[in-house]
Structure 1
Amino acid sequence: MKDSRSLDVRPAGRHALLVELPEAERTAAFHAELLRRRAAGTLPPVEEIVPGARTVLLDGVARPGELARRIAAWDVPAHPADDGGLVEIPVRYDGPDLARVAELWGVGADKVAARHSSYTYRVAFCGFAPGFGYLTGLPPELHVPRRETPRTRVPAGAVALAGPYSAVYPRATPGGWQLIGTMPDPTPLWDLGREEPALLTPGTRVRFVAEGGTP
């Protein structure tokens, strides 16, 4: 992934850098490379690494100028498909927007479960609410728009689509995504009693398992 046009590194404060990349897949690969180098002890000290949709923030950088020069020379490999822990999420495909998504996909409503659960997703970044992971992995032809009118309340455990992303709502909240299903017995996506509160963290792979199998 070495391409001088593929990333833009700029200061974001005295001890911070913001790296901007052209697409989510490259952002995920760059984030994985940062973690790999930090684990190997070859990354200069960085206190926080925070991925976004197309950016990665490096905060608490001791020598930001030096790190920026290093990053510019990196050859970042693609993110291996089988890299990262795997979380399986059971889904009952009964969401109120199932028929609308089926129409957008050009299939019957009974086929949405089979399609959606056939892919392996990856948490690109987290945001919006604690435990809310933005999952990439849907091919472009299955991307869907947000609802024209957001709901005032989306229940916890709702499985949803918007743009290129899939997600599971960790708690009841307003939301404008297309709801296609629910977790039948929601495992907390955010639990302060766990060592790692978030079940879905950047880089984690996710598989949706249709309850009772796929139609």
Structure 2
Amino acid sequence: MSTDTGTGSGGAAPTRPRVVRVGREALLCEVDSAAGVAALHAELVRRRDAGELGGVREIVPAARTVLLDGVREPAALGARIGTWRLAALAPAEGPLVRVAVRYDGPDLAEVAALWDVPPARVPEIVGGTEFRVAFCGFAPGFGYLTGLPERFRPPRRASPRTSVPAGSLALAGEYAGVYPRSSPGGWQLIGSTDAVLWDPAREPAALFAPGVRVRFVEAAA
């Protein structure tokens, strides 16, 4: 996936992370895209599992960064990471989660119009996409899912809703997500699910974690 001095292979041209120190034992690695975050996160996890990252305790991806905490020698590791050339991430090998969805969201018709398709085609488009959890945030259990082709990326709503029901399947720009609890939100709501996104009594508590693949399956009528 990457080498310390090579050029990578396949897809877009490889990129090098930009690394900055954060406190005594942390590094913040910056890249230019969600795809770059996915590639860097996968490479860091692989190297940690192989014992190459020393005592790194946590690897936390975000929209354009990956944070490493518990770094024993941050200067040395940061210099190494800065030499990596990250090629496009290979087809995901993470666990696959299937989520049953009812396409009953209040913004379904608006999204279909933006896509220039009838509303009945939205389940086909969404269901035909394999999403990947890029990172988590906003609320416990909320995963930011990437994978939608560029032409199917609707903007956020001009006016956010004060309350979005728990279980709402939503889209905004390059991301899809499911609201784990009722909260304000400005994403386009296209469906709903009964899946439990966050359960502290479950192991793991979050249904979606970085690297997990997600397929949305249309629920039976």
Candidates 195, 198, 213, aligned match of 1:187: 195
Q: CA deviation at 1:187?
A: 2.4
SS of structure 2 residue aligned to 1:33: helix
In structure 2, which of residues 70, 79, 93 is the aligned counterpart of residue 69 of structure 1? 79
The amino acid across from 1:175 in the alignment is G
**Do the aligned partners of 2:92 and 2:211 also contact (CA within 8 Å) in 1?**
no
Question: Does residue 129 of the first structure (1) align with residue 139 of the second (2)?
Answer: yes
Q: Name the stretch that deviates more: 111-120 or 77-86.
A: 77-86
Work out the percentage of aligned pairs sharing the same amino acid.
55
Q: Tell whether 2:28 aligns with 1:18.
A: yes
Q: Secondary structure at the match of 2:86?
A: coil
Q: Cα deviations across residues 10-38 of structure 1 (Å, max 9, x unaligned)? A: 11112111000010011011101111111
Q: Which structure 2 residues correspond to residues 46-195 of structure 1 after superposition, within 5 A?
A: 46-183=56-193, 186-195=194-203
Distance 1:212 1:107 in 2: 22
The answer to whether the 8 Å contact 1:6/1:22 transfers is no
Structure 1 counterpart of 2:206, one-letter code: A
Give the TM-score taking structure 1 as reference length: 0.93
My pick for the range that moved more, 4-13 or 204-213, is 4-13
* Residue equivalent to 1:196: 204
Distance 2:156 2:15 in 1: 31
Per-residue CA distance 1:187-206 (angstroms, 9 max, x = gap): 21111101211110000000
Rounded to whole Å, the distance in 2 between the matches of 1:66 and 1:200 is 33
Equivalences, count: 211
Q: Give the alignment's Cα RMSD to 1 decimal.
A: 1.6
State the match for 1:40 in structure 2. 50
How far is the alpha carbon of 1:152 from its aligned partner?
Answer: 1.0
TM-fit CA distance, 1:4: 8.4
Shift of 1:77: 4.3
Runs of 4+ in 1 over 2 A off after TM superposition: 1-6, 73-80
Q: Give, in whole Å, the separation in 1 of the partners of 2:102 and 2:195.
A: 14
Q: Is the 8 A contact 2:101 2:217 kept in 1?
A: yes
Unmatched tracts of structure 2, length 5 or more: 8-12
8 Å contact kept, 2:17–2:84? no
